[in-house]
């Protein structure tokens, strides 16, 4: 039996990368999916792809940094599909001007925090009452391996935002544990998605990151979608408050083999 049969999932950041692959996989596993992105054309494309494969999906534009957009996306999921069981707060940005504390501007810091951390807060703020109305559910917040390690390439705003996601996730997991609402963080390693490849835009920068990954390659968005499916489904029923690392071994390594 499909692991998300009769479930309703809301996924943010579906126009690309992890969000797109997760929306496709969740639908394949039986969920009705509200596909959310700031890029409406991209959200519609993913929703059409799901429908074309025989799944159920709808698209909704939302900027996760805007409270009213987040309130409306949750309302849209309930209106369209009758309930909400899975909330995947995945949308995120990595700003090209993010660097050390000295060269990162206040504007870059604020934008990164607003999307990556406040966006997750809003997803939980409006998503949790909906999950409660459905009798419980699963929240997955995308953090990153960089919340566990000091990185070779500085990006202080991004790293701090992801550390905040871990702390927020832990606290919400404890608060809602007796309500059948599970809250877990997903920590991907370096992936071959647009987000990271735009940041590591030269072969030299990519190699500098690759030397730290025991598996010797970047991960794929599809590999993270499988982990998100596990956290979304009852297969992870005893997990809450976790920091689920899917990272090619990068956080386990001190020195990687040649």
Closer to ligand NAD by Cβ: residue 113 or 132 = 113
Of 26-34, 73-81, 87-95, 238-246, the segment contacting ligand NAD by CB under 6 A is 87-95
User: Considering Cα of 48, then 53, then 57, then 63, what sign does the dihedral take?
Assistant: negative
Told to check if 164 binds ligand NAD by CB under 6 A, we report no
Q: Which residues pair with 246 in a beta bridge?
A: 188
Closer to ligand NAD by Cβ: residue 137 or 190 = 190
Told to check if 13 binds ligand NAD by CB under 6 A, we report yes
Q: What are the counts of helices (DSSP H) followed by strands (DSSP E) for the chain?
A: 9, 7
Told to check if 87 binds ligand NAD by CB under 6 A, we report no
Told to check if 44 binds ligand NAD by CB under 6 A, we report no
Between CA 63 and CA 175 the distance in angstroms is 26
Told to check if 221 binds ligand NAD by CB under 6 A, we report yes
Told to check if 91 binds ligand NAD by CB under 6 A, we report yes
> Minimum distance between the CB of residue 216 and ligand NAD, rounded to whole angstroms?
16
Q: Which of 123, 127, 137, 190 binds ligand NAD (CB under 6 A)?
A: 190
158 is catalytic: yes
Q: Which of 11, 25, 26, 42 binds ligand NAD (CB under 6 A)?
A: 42
Between CA 23 and CA 34 the distance in angstroms is 8
Catalytic-role residue among 126, 158, 238, 254: 158
Q: Which of 65, 74, 76, 213 binds ligand NAD (CB under 6 A)?
A: 65
Q: Where are the alpha helices (DSSP H) in the chain?
A: 17-28, 40-52, 67-81, 106-113, 119-133, 156-176, 194-199, 203-210, 221-232
Between CA 80 and CA 235 the distance in angstroms is 26
Q: Which of 32, 60, 90, 169 binds ligand NAD (CB under 6 A)?
A: 90
Strand order across the beta sheet in which 56-61 lies: 56-61, 32-37, 8-12, 86-89, 137-142, 181-188, 243-246
- Residues comprising the chain, all counted: 258
> Minimum distance between the CB of residue 60 and ligand NAD, rounded to whole angstroms?
10
Between CA 47 and CA 59 the distance in angstroms is 6
Between CA 223 and CA 25 the distance in angstroms is 11
- Nearest Cα to Cα of residue 86 among 187, 180, 221, 224: 180
Q: Which of 4, 7, 10, 19 binds ligand NAD (CB under 6 A)?
A: 19
> Minimum distance between the CB of residue 254 and ligand NAD, rounded to whole angstroms?
21
Q: Which of 3, 39, 75, 253 binds ligand NAD (CB under 6 A)?
A: 39
- Rounded to a whole number of angstroms, the CA Rg of the chain reads 17
- Binding site residues, ligand NAD, CB under 6 A: 12-13, 15-19, 37-39, 42, 62-65, 90-93, 115, 142, 144, 188, 190-191, 193-196, 221
- Residues taking part in catalysis: 158
């Amino acid at each position: 039996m499909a692991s998300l049969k009769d479930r309703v999932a809301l996924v943010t950041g579906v126009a690309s990368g992890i969000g797109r692959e997760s929306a496709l996989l969740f639908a394949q596993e039986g969920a009705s999916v509200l596909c959310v992105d700031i890029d409406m054309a991209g959200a519609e494309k993913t929703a059409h792809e799901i429908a074309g494969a025989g799944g159920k999906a709808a698209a909704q534009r939302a900027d996760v940094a805007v409270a009213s957009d987040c309130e409306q996306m949750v309302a849209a999921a309930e209106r369209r599909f009758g309930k909400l069981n899975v909330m995947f707060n995945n949308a995120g940005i990595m700003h090209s001007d993010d660097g050390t504390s000295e060269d990162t501007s206040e504007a870059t810091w604020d934008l990164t925090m607003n999307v990556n951390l406040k966006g997750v807060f809003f997803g939980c703020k409006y998503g949790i009452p909906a999950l409660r109305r459905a009798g419980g559910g699963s929240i997955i917040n995308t953090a990153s391996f960089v919340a566990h390690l000091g990185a070779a390439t500085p990006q202080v705003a991004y790293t701090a935002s992801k550390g905040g996601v871990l702390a927020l996730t832990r606290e919400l997991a404890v608060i809602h544990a007796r309500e059948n609402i599970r809250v877990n963080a997903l920590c991907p390693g370096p992936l071959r998605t647009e987000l990271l490849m735009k940041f590591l835009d030269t072969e030299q920068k990519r190699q500098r990151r690759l030397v730290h990954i025991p598996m010797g390659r970047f991960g794929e968005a599809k590999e993270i979608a499988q982990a998100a499916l596990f956290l979304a489904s009852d297969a992870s029923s005893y997990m809450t408050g976790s920091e689920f690392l899917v990272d090619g071994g990068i956080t386990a390594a001190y020195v990687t083999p040649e």
